[in-house]
Amino acid sequence: MSKPAPTLHDKLNQLRERFIEQLPSRLAQTAELWQQSRTTSEEQSRLAPELHRFFHSLKGTGRSLGFERLALLADQAEEALTSSPTRADIDTFISQLLLQMGHEQQHLRSHHGQQQALAAVNSFELSSQVEPLRNKRQRLIYLCDDEPEQVDQLIHHLRCFGHEVVQFIDTDTFFNAVLTRRPDAVIMDVQFPQGQTAGTETLTSLNKLTGQPLPAIVLSAHSDFHSRLSAVRAGCGGYFTKPVKPLDLMLAVDELTAPAAEEPLKVLVVDDEPEAAAYHALLLKEGGMSVHQVHHPADALNAMERFSPDLVLVDVYMPVCSGEELASIIRQQPEHLGLPIIYLSSETDSQKQISAMSAGVEAFLTKPVQPEELVSAVRLRAERLRLLRSLMTRDSMTGLYNHSTTTELINKNLAQAHRDNSQHAMAMIDIDHFKQVNDTHGHLAGDQVIITLARLLKSRLRLSDIIGRYGGEEFVVLLKGINAEKAATLIDSLREDFALVDFHAGEVPFRCTFSAGISSFPAQPSTESLRLSADQALYRAKHHGRNQVVISTELTDDR
Amino acid sequence: MHILVVDDDPLAGEMTAALLESQGHNTLLASDAMEAVEQLDAHSDIKLIVSDMHMPLVSGLALLEMLREQDNHLPFILLTGDTPDTTLRQTPGLNACLRKDAELAWNLDAAVKQTLALNG
């Protein structure tokens, strides 16, 4: 949907001014009503609805117009009026709130105060008409620092990664903005004119108010104990002192906001009794897992191939093929040697249970199972396999898929693509002059370049895309459902942003570029031909001066 | 075609009307349930009602109930200063219940479009 037009912006600002101008008389009238309601219980019950309506209306309208602090005060008053039993100090409490609202009105009445309160709202109202599609990994980051010139470089780097950065120079504006639109992460200074730890105290207040801790990193000119303690109390996930290397802080923000487990655990249930299978599947689904059922042991291998479970839950007594026999069949497949298998049985003889363990079964659950026991037994073992698989299939430095896993995943996707008649593109990406980076700036700097490019690919590409590290400084990406031209445009925008990143080796800054070759499926029908074609295009990109993206063309490749 | 905005707070009503007008709709204003009924009698082209929840004498919910009893089935959107709970949201005859906050512009736009699409 489109955002409000500038004319609406002007209209809302007029309404805001009228709201602020008429507020003193409304507050005075309410204070009078309040005093009157305290005289007798009859007056109290007669005037209660009107008082409640005033505070409720003030809350809703104030909040809609962007006056979040005023709305909070009104909310407190409304809550005090409606709570039961009535708080003992309600007389002074309401009077104080009315006074605070008056002070807030005076603050808003000043041009500066209004600008402060509305800065957050205005920045949203005046931004572009069409909200761009944010992919799942792009994040909204609020940066609050009263010395904006010191954070320009940091903002530059965050935006290279595609994150949306909103900058605030005071805690009040920041406070309103968080309540208006919650960010994915916060970068906060400690010291502000309001106090030596006003920044972190604002975070603490917000955490208490919203009940949800904000992922936050402190960026401060001070590294004393008091400042650090206030950061810990605000629940901050990192502490950086100025001057900061922007890339280090950016990577920390990326780490802080990295999405948690992207996929639910997958469990295959094999039980010849459909009702029992459905019951156990339901328990596991309610535990947050993805569950597939088969009712005939012969279907288990096909289901495992298609579903790729993290664990198999097997009933022991099935007439055609017992659980034990099925477990042995599963273990015959090399790729399933490590797959956890759990038995379900009514067998209570512990000696027989121990005997079953020798067939490579992880656990033995006795029916009827306790729901909590089933869920926790399955989760523990499935998560262990998931972690182990991740260590075996991913590159340890970048977290991307390693060479063999990338190839396997692309093979699978192309097999599926042949059936679906879909179209994909492959990009081979290689960091330019990487050996020179290592020789000149050292291996630590080289590693940081690799990690940064990996993070850039992860944050800017879709979850469905396959991203692998193929060798030292070489990456391969399968971009699904896209043609070569669009893939080239996308990779080229990443190339431009990557070239803007400032790296450091000690105090020596340097920049890096990458080159890329693009090939497309089904013009290239196999993983090998796709990779070869992309590699040849990459070679031409290197040969033509590097720092560019080249699309493979069959005619040229035949030369 | 008009959208009828009902709010006892004139400034709040004007704000709601401004949001709707920026989204391409014509609006009529009423400050209470009685005025709302008068507007409904006077204008046959009202297609949607957006009403505040807390109003003196006749609340937004009471207005909705009254209209349904009178066999008026125009789509009805409620605005409240609190976070709408499930019970309120599921009120029979209510098309949407929105919270008055800084997101109101976008939420109202989506709710109006969806409501008119379902009742068009």
pLDDT, one tens digit per residue, over A187-222 is 999 988 888 889 999 999 888 888 788 889 999 888
Per-residue pLDDT band at A134 (split at 50, 70, 90):
very low
Residues of B in contact with A10 (CB under 8 A): none
Mean pLDDT of A5-21: 77
Residue A481 has pLDDT above 80, yes or no: yes
Alpha-helical (H) ranges within A192-313 are 198-210, 225-233, 246-257, 274-286, 300-307
Closest by Cβ to A59, choosing from B19, B81, B102: B81
B81: contact with A, CB 8 A cutoff: yes
B54: contact with A, CB 8 A cutoff: yes
B14: contact with A, CB 8 A cutoff: yes
Distance from the A63 Cα atom to the nearest Cα atom in chain B, whole angstroms: 5
Across the interface, whether the CB atoms of B102 and A4 are under 8 A apart is answered no
In SS3 terms, A28-50 reads as HHHHHHHHHHCCCHHHHHHHHHH
pLDDT at residue A121 in the model:
57
| pLDDT tens-digit series, residues A442-460 | 888 888 899 899 989 988 8
Mean pLDDT of A230-253: 84
- Contacts of residue A7, Cβ cutoff 8 Å, sequence gap at least 6: B22
Tokens, residue A434: 């990487």
| pLDDT tens-digit series, residues A399-409 | 888 888 899 88
- The alpha carbon of A35 is separated from its chain's Cα centroid by a whole number of angstroms, namely 50
pLDDT at residue A167 in the model:
87
Residue A2 has pLDDT above 50, yes or no: no
Tokens, residue A270: 């094999």
Residue A74 has pLDDT above 50, yes or no: yes
Interface test with chain B among A57, A121, A182, by most B beta carbons within 10 Å: A57
Residues of A in contact with B12 (CB under 8 A): 57, 60-61, 64
Across the interface, whether the CB atoms of B18 and A12 are under 8 A apart is answered yes
Separation of alpha carbons A303 and A292, rounded Å: 8
pLDDT at residue A132 in the model:
35
Q: What are phi and psi of A296, to 5 degrees?
A: -130, 130
Distance from the B74 Cα atom to the nearest Cα atom in chain A, whole angstroms: 24
The 10 Å CB-count burial string (b at 16+, else e) for A265-279 is bbbbbbbbeeebbee
Residue B39 has pLDDT above 80, yes or no: yes
CA distances from A305 to A491, A526, A549, B38, B109 (A): 33, 20, 37, 68, 46
Residues belonging to chain B: 120
* A334 DSSP β-pair partners: none
Residue recorded with tokens 């208006």: A180
Residues of A in contact with B108 (CB under 8 A): none
pLDDT at residue A554 in the model:
54
Per-residue pLDDT band at A179 (split at 50, 70, 90):
confident
Mean pLDDT of chain A: 83
| pLDDT tens-digit series, residues A22-58 | 899 999 999 999 989 888 888 888 888 889 888 988 8
Instruction: Determine the residue type at A121.
Output: V
DSSP line for A120-159 = HHHHHHTS-SBPPPPPTT--EEEEE-S-GGGGHHHHHHHH
Closest by Cβ to A56, choosing from B21, B54, B99: B54
Closest residue of chain A to B105, computed from CA coordinates: A4
Across the interface, whether the CB atoms of B11 and A56 are under 8 A apart is answered no
Closest residue of chain B to A121, computed from CA coordinates: B102
Q: What is the ipTM of this complex?
A: 0.80
Tokens, residue A409: 């995943």
Choice between A4 and A395, residue whose per-residue pLDDT is larger? A395
pLDDT at residue B83 in the model:
76
Q: What are phi and psi of A470, to 5 degrees?
A: -95, -25
Interface test with chain B among A26, A47, A61, A127, by most B beta carbons within 10 Å: A61
Q: How many CB atoms lie within 10 A of CB B10?
A: 12
| pLDDT tens-digit series, residues B54-102 | 888 788 888 998 888 888 889 999 998 877 777 777 788 888 888 887 7
Per-residue pLDDT band at A322 (split at 50, 70, 90):
confident
pLDDT at residue A351 in the model:
67
DSSP line for chain B = -EEEEE-SSHHHHHHHHHHHHHTT-EEEEESSHHHHHHHHHH-TTEEEEEEES--SSS-HHHHHHHHHHTT----EEEEESSPPPHHHHT-TT--EEEE-STTHHHHHHHHHHHHHHHH-
| pLDDT tens-digit series, residues A405-435 | 899 889 888 988 888 888 999 999 999 999 9
Q: Which H helix or E strand runs over A491?
A: helix A484-498
| pLDDT tens-digit series, residues A338-388 | 888 998 887 666 666 666 666 566 778 887 888 888 998 898 888 888 777
Is the separation of the CB atoms in A437 and A431 below 8 Å? yes
Instruction: List residues in chain A touching B: CB distance below 8 A.
Output: 1, 3-5, 7-8, 11-12, 15, 18-19, 22, 49-50, 52-53, 56-57, 59-61, 63-66, 68, 121, 124, 180-181
Separation of alpha carbons A357 and A252, rounded Å: 44
Is the separation of the CB atoms in A196 and A164 below 8 Å? no
Identify the three-state secondary structure at position A103.
helix
Distance from the B39 Cα atom to the nearest Cα atom in chain A, whole angstroms: 23
Distance from the A14 Cα atom to the nearest Cα atom in chain B, whole angstroms: 10
Exposed / middle / buried, residue A337 (Cβ in 10 Å: 0-12, 13-18, 19+): exposed
Tokens, residue A109: 């009445």
Per-residue pLDDT band at A311 (split at 50, 70, 90):
very high
Residues belonging to chain A: 559
Closest residue of chain A to B83, computed from CA coordinates: A60
Separation of alpha carbons A520 and A553, rounded Å: 9
Is the separation of the CB atoms in A232 and A254 below 8 Å? no
> How, if at all, do strands B76-80 and A508-510 pair?
unpaired
Among residues A402, A430, A399, which one has the least CA distance to residue A495? A430
Q: Which H helix or E strand runs over A58?
A: helix A41-65
Separation of alpha carbons A406 and A395, rounded Å: 11
Across the interface, whether the CB atoms of A4 and B110 are under 8 A apart is answered no
- Contacts of residue A376, Cβ cutoff 8 Å, sequence gap at least 6: none
Residues of A in contact with B103 (CB under 8 A): 180-181
Q: What share of chain A is helix, strand, coil (3-state, %, to 5)?
A: 55, 15, 30
Across the interface, whether the CB atoms of A22 and B11 are under 8 A apart is answered yes
> How, if at all, do strands A474-480 and A424-431 pair?
antiparallel
Residues of B in contact with A63 (CB under 8 A): 81, 100-102
pLDDT at residue A297 in the model:
86
Identify the three-state secondary structure at position A226.
helix
Closest residue of chain B to A14, computed from CA coordinates: B15
The DSSP symbol for A266 reads: E
| pLDDT tens-digit series, residues A498-520 | 998 888 887 788 999 999 999 99
